[in-house]
Amino acid sequence: MSVEQQSKRPVTVIGLGPMGQAMAGAFLDAGHAVTVWNRTAGRAAELVGRGAESAPSAEAAVAANELVVLSLTDYDAVIAVLESAEPALKGKVFANLGSDTPERAREVTRWLAERGAEHLNGGVQVPPSGIGSPESSVFYSGPAELFERYRDTLEVLAGTDYRGDDPGLAQLYYQIQMDLFWTSMVGYLHATAIAEANGISAEEFRPHAVSTAALMPWMIEFYAPRITAGDHRGDVDRLTMGLAGIEHVRHTAEASGVDGELPALLAQVLRRAVEAGHGEDSLSALVGRFRRA
Ligand code: NDP
């Protein structure tokens, strides 16, 4: 072990998909001693070539270091791996940076606590290429003291955004970001399909798509304080107007030979709100309509 490695916290990384590979690589680049384990053993080869230690089992990987970073597909995989490492769990700290639901994050915290281990949950907001950059950001939640203890080491991976004690919060913030991301991206791709069906290439559409997407920050800044205040005045937009607009999109899609299912779904959401008496309210009234409880 080099002198630099001795002064830095050694870390175990379990799960060597593209994300886990990037994380283990970032720790190596920053001079940490890294132990890795992956279900499919061949995936450790490149990291071993860069100086990582490949553990023979998940149990040995957990036993190797106090801090264990998990980068697995979901929390079923987390439990499957940790069950196989059960004798080594006590006293360990798991930074679980894969994605799943807030409730599953809370369950994993309870499961680990029953075995004498601690859990910091993380929601990674960047692709593997963003790991190792302080401009990137990962949501964390779990005990504040635990987060502070490992913060310096975790900041090797990306900037940290601590959300609070409730272990579900990191996944909650991650999933609401993903909700916004997926609905926006699918909307962009649907619009591109209509453009292409009419001979407008994605490249020709690009500057127009960018200028419409650039309205989003302005709209979020405008609506957020109104939504917080429960102010859904239809002074700048109205649901009846939005419904007519979405129906025009649907008709344009269908006339272009493009599936109109997506705008039809949006129209259905708005129509229900209009039928419930919100026709003269702002689009922001949908927030209350989406809530079931
Ligand atoms: P992959 O699905 O490519 O890798 C998942 C890892 O989980 C692999 O090492 C795989 O092992 C392991 N695994 C899955 N199921 C099991 C199991 N039952 N037992 C043991 N090991 C298992 O995912 P990524 O590396 O892309 O992502 C990891 C996590 O990070 C995910 O939760 C993802 O949502 C999240 N994330 C990923 C981003 C990305 O852009 N890639 C961005 C933000 C978050 P094996 O090699 O043997 O299959």
- Ligand 1 centroid to 16 CA: how many Å? 7
CATH code of residue 155: 3.40.50.720
Q: What H or E segment, with its residue span, contains residue 137?
A: strand 133-141
Domain count for the chain, please give it: 2
- CB of 39 shorter than 6 A to ligand 1: yes
Mark whether 193 and 234 lie in a shared domain.
yes
- CB of 104 shorter than 6 A to ligand 1: no
- pLDDT tens by residue, 222-236: 999 999 999 999 999
Has residue 163 got a pLDDT over 60?
Answer: yes
- pLDDT tens by residue, 235-246: 999 999 999 999
pLDDT reported for residue 156: 97
Last residue of a domain, one of 103, 138, 166: 166
Angle between helices 202-213 and 215-229 (to 10 degrees): 30
Nearest CA to ligand 1 atom 21: 39
- CB of 15 shorter than 6 A to ligand 1: yes
Mark whether 160 and 217 lie in a shared domain.
no
CATH code of residue 205: 1.10.1040.10
Has residue 6 got a pLDDT over 60?
Answer: no
Angle between helices 261-273 and 239-255 (to 10 degrees): 160
pLDDT reported for residue 2: 56
Has residue 1 got a pLDDT over 60?
Answer: no
Q: Give the residue among 1, 117, 93, 9 at the shortest CA–CA distance from 53.
A: 1
Mark whether 185 and 153 lie in a shared domain.
no
Mark whether 160 and 218 lie in a shared domain.
no
Has residue 158 got a pLDDT over 70?
Answer: yes
Q: Name the band, by pLDDT with cuts 50, 70 and 90, for residue 7.
A: confident
Percent of the chain topping pLDDT 90: 96
Mark whether 117 and 197 lie in a shared domain.
no
Between CA 273 and CA 279 the distance in angstroms is 7
Mark whether 159 and 182 lie in a shared domain.
no
Mark whether 119 and 146 lie in a shared domain.
yes
Mark whether 23 and 148 lie in a shared domain.
yes
Kindly report the average pLDDT of the chain as a whole number.
96
Q: Give the domain extent around 218.
A: 173-290
pLDDT reported for residue 145: 98
Mark whether 136 and 187 lie in a shared domain.
no
Token pair for 49: 């070539």
Q: Name the band, by pLDDT with cuts 50, 70 and 90, for residue 293.
A: low
C-alpha distances in Å from residue 94, one per residue of 62, 109, 201, 218: 9, 9, 47, 39
Between CA 60 and CA 56 the distance in angstroms is 6
